[in-house]
Structure formats: C-alpha cells, structure tokens
Structure 1
Amino acid sequence: MAVLLREAIGGSLRRARTARRRTLREVSRQARVSLGYLSEVERGVKEASSELLASICEALDISLPDLLTSAAEEMAQSMRPQMIVPIGQRHADLRIAGSSSALVSPPPVTAPASPVASAA
C-alpha cells in the first residue's frame, strides 16, 4: 500500500529529529508548535502547513527541500513491488474483474533428464 504524503513527511521529520538526538519537547519549543501537534505531524495523523513545516525544519536545521526529497523517496520506495521472485520461479495470478477464479500460469517446465546409455 502506498504511503500518504503526510505519513512520509512525518516519518522524515521523526528520523531527522531522532538522528539529531532531539526530543519532541525541544523541537516543539523551538518551532513554536505544541508538543501534541508535532507528535501528530510526525505520526502522519495531521497534515502540517508549509509555514509550520518550514518552522520545524528550521528547528531541526534541515532544509524544506531536503525534507520533501526524503519524503518523496519514501513514497517512491513504498510503491515499488515488495516481492522479488527469481526468474525461474515466476508465475502469474491474474483475476478477471468481477470474477473470483484465478487464472494461474502453469509452473515452469524443467528440461528432461539426459538419457542414460544402457549396456546391451
């Protein structure tokens, strides 16, 4: 499932804050935002205005573009396929819209064993 923008921004803010060993209380005081609201922004519950994000970034000594780049990278990562299957083991599980039956491709065919010479 794709990450929402507010969740990606919140996660990026929390990682930046914890990497700098700053507490929510310190950052909220410096950014002039309530501790509870900052916590909600970090958890992706609230969507912060650009002015508030700029203030939080200033308190964390990071640039707003860097924050947004980090959030965009997190969103892009969440949209990539989660499972990597080796080529020889791939199969399809397709469903026709409105149908509950799956169209499953057959397993890969393996090469026959080499013939063994028999003594005559």
Structure 2
Amino acid sequence: MTLLRTQLGNTLRGHRLRQRRTLRDVSGAARVSLGYLSEVERGQKEASSELLASICDALDVELADLLAEVSLEMRLAEPGRHPVRPVALAGARPGTPDDDPAAAGADESADSGPAVEVPVAEPALALVGAGQPARSAARGAVSLAAA
C-alpha cells in the first residue's frame, strides 16, 4: 500500500523535474525551506494543505489537479483495483434500488442501460443583461448578480 505523502511527493517531484526546475528555485517561489521541500518530495514529511497550495502555486499546478493525479496513481498502484470507482449521485437515497446494483439491474431492460441524471455545475454568478442589445452606452452595461 502506497502512503499518501509518498505519492504526493513523487507527483510534486515529477512536476518539478518536467519543468526542469531545481529544489532551490521551487522552494524560493513557494517560500518553504529547501530541506523541507526535499523531505516532502521524498515522502518523509506530511505537507499541510497550505504548504501544498503554496508548492502548487510555485509549480503553476492546480491543487485539485495534483490531488486528482495522486488519487489516480494510488488507485493504479493497488493490484486488483479498478482505476475509477463509482460515486453515488446526488439525489440517491439509501435503501433505494440506486444503492443496490442487483436490485437496480432487475428493473432495467436487457438492451438499455440505466437512465442516469448527471448533475451539471452551475455558475455562482450570472451576467445580467448580457444577452440584450445595448440601447445606449450608459444603459448597455453588464452587471453581476448572484445566481
């Protein structure tokens, strides 16, 4: 079993080496000591979320992307595991056929898969008046409103 800190370190080191950057360069940009960054890369230290965010900023890598990459690598490192595990969809209630694959299969027809509704991310802000032609310079402004 691979430790999270080991895989995080390996992935961070991979990003740094692909960018052909030194530990000194990244540690300076991330404002973390060179020794500590080295220990994180070697999996000897458990990095805090703030430290990881700082290192990711220095490497120009999104923290969410780093974590997704680490997660995938950890899944692939375990023998007999599938690379992607099913995740419960929003709206599924415990004790319903959505929870039990055997029960769900009993209601489905043989030639069609289950109808799954995938949630779509909605923006937190919406442009108000963006789709309307401007009547004048002052009235054609676009404003932001909470969605």
The TM tier, using the shorter chain, reads 0.5 to 0.7
Please give the root-mean-square deviation of Cα atoms over the aligned residues, in Å. Answer: 0.7
Normalising by structure 2, we get a TM-score of 0.53
Matched letter for residue 7 of structure 2? A
Q: Give the Å deviation of 1:10.
A: 0.5
Moved over 3 A (4+): none
Aligned-residue identity in percent: 61
Residue of structure 2 equivalent to 1:71: 70
Residue of structure 2 equivalent to 1:80: 79
The structure with more helix, counted as a fraction of residues: 1
1:57 partner SS = helix
State the alpha-carbon separation in 2 of the partners of residues 11 and 70 from structure 1.
11
Note the alpha carbon deviations across 1:44-76, whole angstroms, 9 max, x for none.
000000000000000000000111011111111
Larger gyration radius, structure 1 or structure 2: 1
Residue of structure 1 equivalent to 2:88: none
Residue of structure 2 equivalent to 1:106: none
Work out which structure has the larger RCO, using CA pairs closer than 8 Å and 6 or more positions apart in sequence. Answer: 1
Residue of structure 2 equivalent to 1:57: 56
Q: Give the Å deviation of 1:17.
A: 0.4
Q: Give the Å deviation of 1:27.
A: 0.2
State the alpha-carbon separation in 2 of the partners of residues 12 and 73 from structure 1.
11
2:43 partner SS = coil
Gaps of 5+ in 1: 82-120
- Superposed counterparts of 1:1-120, under 5 Å: 2-81=1-80
- Number of aligned residue pairs: 80
Gaps of 5+ in 2: 81-147
Normalising by structure 1, we get a TM-score of 0.65
Q: Give the Å deviation of 1:41.
A: 0.2
